[in-house]
């Protein structure tokens, strides 16, 4: 047993809670990681270690948005979770978890407390505890896995969500005493026409979205949070993404998806605060109270049949999307940010933007005003046995209610010309609670 730790300027270390003394809902929030969390970090063979959050990873990591992308860092604590309206970073590691079969409500709370402490440290550019030679404990596994040592915060955000099954498990089991707190809107998404979902890459009790400008930093975050969950929750599925497909800020250029088109031109942007308030954040009148300031996250793994797309003539590609491929301007005219004119007609009175064009069917005017903040990423996961790239879009959208997504996707699934070139193969819905306050933990109001 060892309680050594270095005196680095991170969050102070704290003795681990005695075994069996599970935190109660109103226990004061802890600064350190629990004994269980440390066991996850250390492995089941080591008992009774006590290590706090340790060394700063990078001396230059500053709080708040800095000028250099690498040293940029975002505060973890706040009214809303970071990673939603935060300007979309370039890289993603997303993970869904299931609670262990024997996990209790206390385990869940403790896990969320541990994750909170660890996420606050990592987003500030710190490691999870010390590691390495200086002051290290050579007879325990290093608390931190180390691959992000020397790397700055890199704009890391870590965003947590709760799946429907956390509230109501198989056979409606109320495993964690949360059934009464389940938001009425938080139920598995309906089956949409064309869905070909892989259950093993769908759903989950919990999710973590780690976004950063350096993939090693995002991977490090998911890996270490997975270790901390040891014995309490385990990885169900995960997805890496390498290029954001939407801007979430007016300061960002619109990126391109793997169809080669600009994606997210009409996305809700952080700067549009009235729209964000109306479309993205759950407000106090929406209920339940614990979700106030939160949002709902839809994740869809969308495989693109890019080989077929690549053999489609340009005219057809543009007609399917409803925009030009180069500039991204609507086919009704103008430039990228010109509002599409869905009434405009051309030859033979045909609409310039086809009835089945993606831009028309996904537009708020076609969906009773419903919009969402998209935050998806391109992915390429090797290739299949026929030599086709296993590639596509890992779609992520935040909205005040899942109904916004359901409305739009119901339209798209039925009529979108793009359906010929895509296949939805994974799906999940999560309630994303509001941000934690310093000293509190993520999701705390759910357990009040």
Span 303-322, contacts to a copy of itself by CB under 8 A? 306-307, 310-315, 317-318
Q: Which of 234, 250, 350, 365 forms a contact with a copy of itself (CB under 8 A)?
A: 234
Using the minimum distance from each CB to a copy of itself, give the nearer residue, 339 or 384: 384
Phi, psi of 358 (to 5 degrees): -60, -40
Using the minimum distance from each CB to a copy of itself, give the nearer residue, 48 or 260: 260
Site for a copy of itself in 77-116 (CB under 8 A): 91, 93, 95
Size of the site for a copy of itself (CB under 8 A): 77
Does residue 46 touch a copy of itself according to CB under 8 A?
Answer: yes
Peptide bond just before 288 cis, omega within 30 deg: yes
Does residue 226 touch a copy of itself according to CB under 8 A?
Answer: yes
The least distance separating a copy of itself from the CB of residue 145, rounded to whole angstroms, comes to: 5
The residues pairing with 303 across neighbouring beta strands, listed in sequence order, are 392, 423
The residues pairing with 415 across neighbouring beta strands, listed in sequence order, are none
Using the minimum distance from each CB to a copy of itself, give the nearer residue, 216 or 411: 216
Structure tokens at 125: 């550019």
Structure tokens at 349: 């009175």
The CA–CA distances, whole Å, from 228 to 133, 408, 436 equal 22, 37, 19
**Can you say whether residue 205 is alpha, beta or left, with left for phi > 0 and alpha for psi between -120 and 50 degrees?**
alpha
Burial label, 93 (beta-carbon count in 10 A; 0-12, 13-18, 19+)? buried
The span of 135-143, 190-198, 368-376, 399-407 binding a copy of itself (CB under 8 A) equals 135-143
Phi, psi of 217 (to 5 degrees): -70, -40
Q: DSSP labels for 251-262?
A: TS---B-TTSSB
Instruction: Give the separation between CA 220 and CA 316, rounded to whole angstroms.
Output: 42
Site for a copy of itself in 322-341 (CB under 8 A): 324-327
**Can you say whether residue 58 is alpha, beta or left, with left for phi > 0 and alpha for psi between -120 and 50 degrees?**
beta
Does residue 219 touch a copy of itself according to CB under 8 A?
Answer: yes
Site for a copy of itself in 388-407 (CB under 8 A): 388-389, 391
Using the minimum distance from each CB to a copy of itself, give the nearer residue, 169 or 293: 169
Using the minimum distance from each CB to a copy of itself, give the nearer residue, 132 or 364: 132
Provide CB contacts within 8 A for 7, sequence distance 6+.
Answer: 135
The least distance separating a copy of itself from the CB of residue 307, rounded to whole angstroms, comes to: 8
Site for a copy of itself in 150-169 (CB under 8 A): 150
Does residue 387 touch a copy of itself according to CB under 8 A?
Answer: yes
Does residue 66 touch a copy of itself according to CB under 8 A?
Answer: no
- Decide: helix, strand or coil at residue 80: coil
Site for a copy of itself in 408-447 (CB under 8 A): none
Does residue 216 touch a copy of itself according to CB under 8 A?
Answer: yes
The least distance separating a copy of itself from the CB of residue 302, rounded to whole angstroms, comes to: 15
The least distance separating a copy of itself from the CB of residue 436, rounded to whole angstroms, comes to: 25
Does residue 137 touch a copy of itself according to CB under 8 A?
Answer: yes
The CA–CA distances, whole Å, from 403 to 186, 273, 279, 298, 433 equal 10, 21, 11, 11, 17
CA angle 62, 66, 67 (to 5 degrees): 140
Structure tokens at 31: 């600064």
Does residue 25 touch a copy of itself according to CB under 8 A?
Answer: no
Does residue 347 touch a copy of itself according to CB under 8 A?
Answer: no
The least distance separating a copy of itself from the CB of residue 55, rounded to whole angstroms, comes to: 9
Q: Which of 44, 196, 348, 448 forms a contact with a copy of itself (CB under 8 A)?
A: 44
The least distance separating a copy of itself from the CB of residue 285, rounded to whole angstroms, comes to: 39
Q: DSSP labels for 172-198?
A: G--TTS-GGG--TT-SPPPPPTT----
Does residue 240 touch a copy of itself according to CB under 8 A?
Answer: yes
The least distance separating a copy of itself from the CB of residue 251, rounded to whole angstroms, comes to: 16
Q: Which of 43, 190, 346, 439 forms a contact with a copy of itself (CB under 8 A)?
A: 43
Does residue 351 touch a copy of itself according to CB under 8 A?
Answer: no
């Amino acid at each position: 047993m060892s309680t050594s730790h270095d005196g680095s300027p991170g969050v102070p270390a704290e003795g681990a809670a005695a075994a069996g003394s599970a935190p109660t809902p109103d226990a004061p929030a802890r600064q350190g990681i629990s004994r269980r969390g440390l066991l996850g970090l250390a492995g089941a063979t080591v008992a009774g270690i006590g290590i706090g959050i340790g060394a700063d990873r990078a001396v230059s990591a500053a709080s708040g948005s800095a000028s250099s992308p690498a040293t940029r860092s975002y505060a973890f604590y706040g009214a809303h979770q970071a990673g939603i309206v935060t300007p979309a970073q370039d890289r993603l590691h997303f993970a869904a978890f299931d609670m262990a079969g024997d996990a209790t409500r206390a385990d869940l709370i403790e896990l969320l407390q541990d994750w909170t402490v660890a996420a606050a440290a990592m987003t500030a550019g710190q490691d999870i505890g010390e590691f390495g030679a200086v002051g290290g404990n050579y007879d325990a596994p290093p608390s931190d896995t180390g691959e992000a040592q020397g790397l700055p915060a890199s704009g890391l955000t870590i965003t947590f969500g709760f799946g429907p099954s956390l509230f109501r498990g198989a056979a409606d089991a109320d495993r964690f005493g949360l059934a009464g707190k389940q938001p009425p809107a938080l139920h598995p998404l309906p089956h949409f026409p064309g869905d070909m979902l892989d259950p093993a890459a769908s759903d989950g009790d919990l999710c973590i979205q780690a976004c950063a400008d350096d993939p090693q930093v995002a991977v490090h975050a998911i890996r270490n949070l997975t270790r901390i969950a040891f014995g309490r929750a385990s990885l169900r599925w995960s997805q890496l993404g390498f290029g954001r497909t939407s801007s979430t800020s007016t300061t960002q250029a619109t990126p391109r998806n793997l169809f080669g088109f600009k994606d997210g031109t009409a996305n809700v942007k952080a700067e549009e605060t009235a729209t964000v308030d109306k479309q993205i954040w759950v407000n106090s009148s929406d209920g339940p109270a614990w979700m106030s300031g939160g949002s709902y996250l839809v994740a869809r793994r969308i495989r693109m049949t890019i080989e077929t797309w690549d053999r489609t003539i340009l005219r057809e590609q543009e007609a399917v999307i409803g925009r030009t491929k180069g500039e991204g301007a609507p086919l009704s005219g103008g430039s990228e940010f010109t509002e599409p004119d869905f009434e405009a007609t051309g030859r033979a009175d045909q609409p310039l933007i086809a009835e089945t064009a993606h831009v028309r069917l996904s537009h708020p005017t076609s969906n009773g005003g419903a919009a969402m903040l998209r935050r998806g990423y391109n992915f390429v996961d090797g290739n299949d046995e026929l030599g086709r790239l296993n590639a596509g879009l890992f779609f992520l959208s935040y909205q005040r209610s899942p109904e916004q997504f359901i409305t739009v996707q119901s339209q798209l699934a039925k009529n979108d010309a793009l359906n010929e070139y895509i296949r939805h193969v994974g799906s999940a819905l999560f309630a994303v609670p509001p941000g934690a306050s310093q000293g509190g933990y993520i999701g705390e109001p759910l357990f009040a």
